[in-house]
Structure 1
Amino acid sequence: MEIMNHSARDAGRGQGPGPLVDPGPLVDLGPELTAEELQRYSRHLLIPEVGMAGQRRLKKARVLVVGAGGLGSPVLLYLAAAGVGTLGIVDDDTVDTSNLQRQVIHGTADVGRPKTASAAETVRGINPLVQVVEHRERLDSSNALEIMAGYDLVLDGTDSFATRYLVSDATTILGKPCVWGSILRFDGQVTVFWAGRGPTYRDLHPEPPLPGTVPSCAEGGVFGALCGQIGSAMAAEAIKLLTGTGEPLLGRVLVLDALAMRWREVGLRPDPEAVRPAALLPDYAEFCGAPVERELPAVDAAELARLLVARAAGEAEFLLVDVRETGEAAIVAIEGAVLVPRGELLSGETELPRDVPVVLHCKSGARSGEVLGHLLDRGYDARHLAGGILAWISRIEPAKPVY
């Protein structure tokens, strides 16, 4: 799982619930409900724990959702339906066909559109009474505090360790709670971070994992329905915090194994030795061990195509190695490539021949670049495909699927 092996160890150190069980409502009472709102939210009004007061708090609430992807989709859908007054959406990406398997806030017609625009349109279609604020930009150290300052609550459904530390540190500095979720393949986690009242992401992960040791969803895959399960739990926690209803997941990490359909709970307490963020946010890419820029020998897609033709004619000799995972190669591959997953090469489990030049490729060039550096340090004659198989499809075989 994305962080199960990494975080179960850290989370287990807590051995118990956080210090606060009932923080009370996060938001004051908002304006009286209109006749239209009374009808729309009637099923909430019938629940004593929410009722008129809770719905008025939701109406006044301002919630920021970081990422309009797999987790952001159900979060936004349910918070909009629940009547959260203002929803902010932060995302700088565009909708891709491969997103549609799990990012249910987007549709086929949205492919190529900014995710914030697509998500905002869907939210307004569900509930026109909700004000949507699009932050069509990448969240980073330069803008996080300014963006988050205007909201009562932040929900983080991103799949980048750098962004997770950024969101946690920014909410810590601002004193705001953060509902956090994580998914990979069939495994998911959800909890609430709130500095001063409970643990933060740095208590769960004092240090980021080594680069490349945890696959992203694009590399490892994700069970689409899992996004709905974890995202719905995140939305429920948000509504509870805003209205002061029930017991929030402070000091408790809820873990789901969707393959076995088992939920379990891991206690987490603030670590007195954990690093606390300063008033100025650091460079999170550097903190999470982003590889140092290194000039690596590369071929472009057109050059590789010429080399493959020459190899077929007996005029060139080289080994084309696909360093992606088996499932990725089953979706789309370059004819003539040999599949040797990145982990096997970096661990030494598989050795490549040294008597012929090697050309590596992955999906976009990041993993092949990592393996290339490893091989060059060991004296191999090697290059990699700039832009990976995505560049190959764009330039050489546009009919092939993009994942």
Structure 2
Amino acid sequence: MRQLGSWVARAGVGFVRACVVAAVSMLVPAVWAAAVALGIWWGPANPWSWIAPFMLVCVGTLALSRPVCRIVRVLVTRWTATVIPAGYRQAGEVTRMSTGYWWNGFSYERSRRDALLDQKCRVRWSDPANWRDLRFTGIVPLTAGVIASLPPAGVAAAVLGLGRPAPAARLVGALGVVVAVASAPYAWRAIELVAVRFLRPSPAMELAGRVEELTAQRADATVAQAAEIRRIERDLHDGAQARLVALGLSLATAGKLMETDPGGAKALMRDAQAGATASLAELRELIRGISPPVLTERGLVDAVRALALNIPLDAAVSADAPLRLEPPIESAIYFGISELLTNAVRHAQASRAHISLTQDDTGIIAEVEDDGRGGADVRADGGLAGLRRRLAVFDGTLEITSPPGGPTHVRMAVPCASS
């Protein structure tokens, strides 16, 4: 009895899904059929009887191809958990030049609105994915659409056949019931095979997308490097350099006062010594911000443990092994953990945090969880977005779970090999 109920449930769900697949697959053929019907209705004497249907077919197919493909991807992902990358070309940033014109990657425009409209049009119609979507809308009705039409066609045959007294009609109706019931749990599954085969980005599209991604990452890295250089210059100019200049003046003055005022010279020497000590401390702090010595000397785990001791949080660190990674990866993960802990103190008002460092077959995984108020989100100009871009340089990922009220859990994964 339980197996029968399970079969009925599967058949019901499958019938609904098959109807949805059939409807989506036949959207473009429905436009074609409407165009043919319009031409027949106008008649051969009307000059628009072939021009208007042709225009309707072209415009309707172009307008519906991408929405149909997007709906199919959503359905396949929701029903089978198979994610099919879209592979569409993404628009770049629109920037304003010193001349006042806006550059959109293709041309200069007088206003931002015109630049965005021109960019959207160029990206949309120069995307090679358009040909893939058009091919899919021509293939899917003849494959998954036909198969998915079996259950509703069987139901229609059953209703029409069983409602007539003729034995042949009743036989057709009974066969329709058998076809509908037998095919309902499976007819919709053909859409997954067709979508995976014909909706995947081509190797050329994947390569173009990867090139664009690497170009964006290189630009982000260049901007971040320039900002870091400016920060170092500013810290040196405002801090250590000013102290060293004052130290030189104090030593020069002390040298002049050495014979006439030994006491004043000694006082200046003491001030110079204090200034030298402060300058040395500032330089050490600056070096620690660039590359912490404990990270260079003892590795990521000990550096994170030292960081946890200096954060005003009850922070615990767990690691499965003393990892030693490539220095750029260690630096990216270390400063990523530092930024997450700083956010936990400054924004989330957390009191406890846990840092976990583990390694699997693919690379290093760093997880940070705090008991703060949650609600963290990735804004385009925020620190978390910058952290995600820095990890993307190493093909790393950043996953954030932060419901309102907390806790906040962040997972950083970077493919690499330890030594």
TM range (shorter): under 0.3
More strand by share: 1
TM-score, normalising length from structure 2? 0.19
More helix by share: 2
TM-score, normalising length from structure 1? 0.19
Greater length-normalized contact order (CA 8 Å, ≥ 6 residues apart): 1
